[in-house]
Amino acid sequence: MRVLAVNAGSSSVKLSVVDGEEVVEGVEVPAERGVWGPGVVEEALAGLPGADAVGHRVVHGGREFVAPVRLDAAVVERLRGLAGLAPLHQRASLAGIEAVGRVLPGAAAVACFDTAFHAGLPGAAATYAVPERWRREWGVRRYGFHGLSHAYASRRAAGWTGGERVVVAHLGSGASLSAVLRGRCVDTTMGFTPLEGLVMATRSGSVDPGLVVWLQEHAGLSVREVGEALEERSGLVGLAGTADMREVLERGDAAAVLALGVYVHRLRAGVAAMASAMGGVDTLVFTGGVGENSAEVRWRAALGLGFMGVRVDSVVNAGLRGEGEVSAAGAAVRSLVVRAREDVEIARGVRAVLGG
C-alpha cells in the first residue's frame, strides 16, 4: 500500500509518498505560523505520484485518541475540540486534512498522533502533582509529543543494536527526549503542552511555574503576552537573538556561548533523567535537524555523560553525514545518529488501521 504522508507544521507542510519503508517522492511547502498560500498544497499534490491512502500527522490526540484512527467528520470535529492544547500545531494539522481532502475526497485517510506513543506512560511519569479536579475534569497530565519521531528512531535503534533501553534525543526547532524500554515509552520531557522540557529554538522549555504567576501579578503581563513570549521569543532566540543553532555555534560572543551552555546543560540533565527511568541506557539516539547535523552538539552532550558510559569518537562524529554510529570503541553505551522519518511512521500507522 502506497501512503501519502502529510506532515503539516508551523513552518511547512511536508508531503511524502511512502511505499514500505521507502519514500518514493516528497515535497515541502513553506508555511508561516501554520498558514500557507491558497492552492499551494493542491499544486504540490498534483506533482506527486498516486497513493492508495492518506496519513496525517496530528500533534494532539488528548485522552481519547491513543492510536491511529480513520478520519471522518465526527473525528475531525473532536480534533477541533483539542486545538486549545496545541493551538498552532493542531490548526495546521486540521488545515492539512481539509486541503488534502479537497484534492483527494475519496481517499481513505488516517490520523496519526504525536501523543499516542506516550499514551501508555506509567502513572508516576504521566501525572502532575496538582489538584485532583484538574486531572479529572480537564485532563491535566503529561501527554508528550514528537511521538512519531520517537517511535521510529527507537525502533530503528533497537533493530540496529539490540539494546532494550533506548534514549532518543529529537533535537530540532522543537526538542524532546524519550526513554524507551523494550519498545514502550516510559518517560519523556514534553508534558501537557510542547513547551515543557528542553531548551528549543524559540521555546523556553521548563520554567518555574511561579515565574508565570509572578509575571502576571507583578510585571503586569497578560496571559497572551506571557504565552507568546515563552513560545516565540524564548529558547535560543531569547538567549542569543537567533533560533538557528548553526549561527549560535559559529559565533563566539557571550550571548551565543551562554545560549549553547544552557542548551547543552539541559540536554545532558534530560538524558540522565531518561536513563534513570529505565535503570540505565544501552543506546543513545540523536535525531531531528540539530541531532542529525550538529556534530558539535552531539560531542558536547556526550562530554557530560561519560559517567553513564556515553563516549563519542570525535573523528567519526565530525565526519558523519547521514545516519551512522558515532560511539567510541569500547563505549558501554552505543551512540547513533538516525534520520527523522515521521513520514515512514505515519505510513506504518495507516497500514495498521487499513491493512496492507
- Residue span of the structural domain in which 287 resides: 147-337
The answer to pTM > 0.75 is yes
CATH number for 244? 3.30.420.40
The stretches in the chain having pLDDT less than 50 are none
Number of compact structural domains in the chain:
2
109 and 151 part of one domain: no
Say if 141 falls within a structural domain: no
94 and 168 part of one domain: no
Q: Which of 19, 52, 114, 343 is catalytic?
A: 114
- Cα dihedral 252, 200, 87, 230 sign: negative
pLDDT, tens digit, for every residue of 56-84? 999 999 999 999 999 999 999 999 988 88
- What is the reported pLDDT for 101? 92
33 and 159 part of one domain: no
CB 26 within 8 A of CB 342: no
Residue linked to cell 520531557: 189
In the chain, alpha helices (H) = 40-46, 73-80, 87-103, 123-126, 132-138, 147-161, 209-217, 223-232, 235-240, 245-250, 254-276, 288-293, 295-303, 314-319, 342-354
Interior angle at CA 310, CA 304 and CA 313, nearest 5: 100
- What is the reported pLDDT for 267? 98
Say if 130 falls within a structural domain: no
Q: Is 72 annotated as catalytic?
A: no
Q: Are strands 334-337 and 184-188 parallel, antiparallel or unpaired?
A: unpaired
Distance, CA of 341 to CA of 3 (rounded, Å): 14
171 and 317 part of one domain: yes
15 phi and psi, to 5 degrees?
A: -120, 125
162 and 209 part of one domain: yes
Say if 140 falls within a structural domain: no
- What is the reported pLDDT for 175? 97
Say if 349 falls within a structural domain: no
Distance, CA of 71 to CA of 145 (rounded, Å): 20
151 and 17 part of one domain: no
Say if 348 falls within a structural domain: no
Distance, CA of 182 to CA of 190 (rounded, Å): 21
The number of helices, as runs of H, and strands, as runs of E, in the chain is: 15, 12
Distance, CA of 296 to CA of 135 (rounded, Å): 41
- What is the reported pLDDT for 35? 75
6 and 54 part of one domain: yes
pLDDT, tens digit, for every residue of 143-197? 999 999 999 999 999 999 999 999 999 999 999 999 999 999 999 999 999 999 9
Bridge partners (DSSP) listed for residue 336: 285, 325
163 and 218 part of one domain: yes
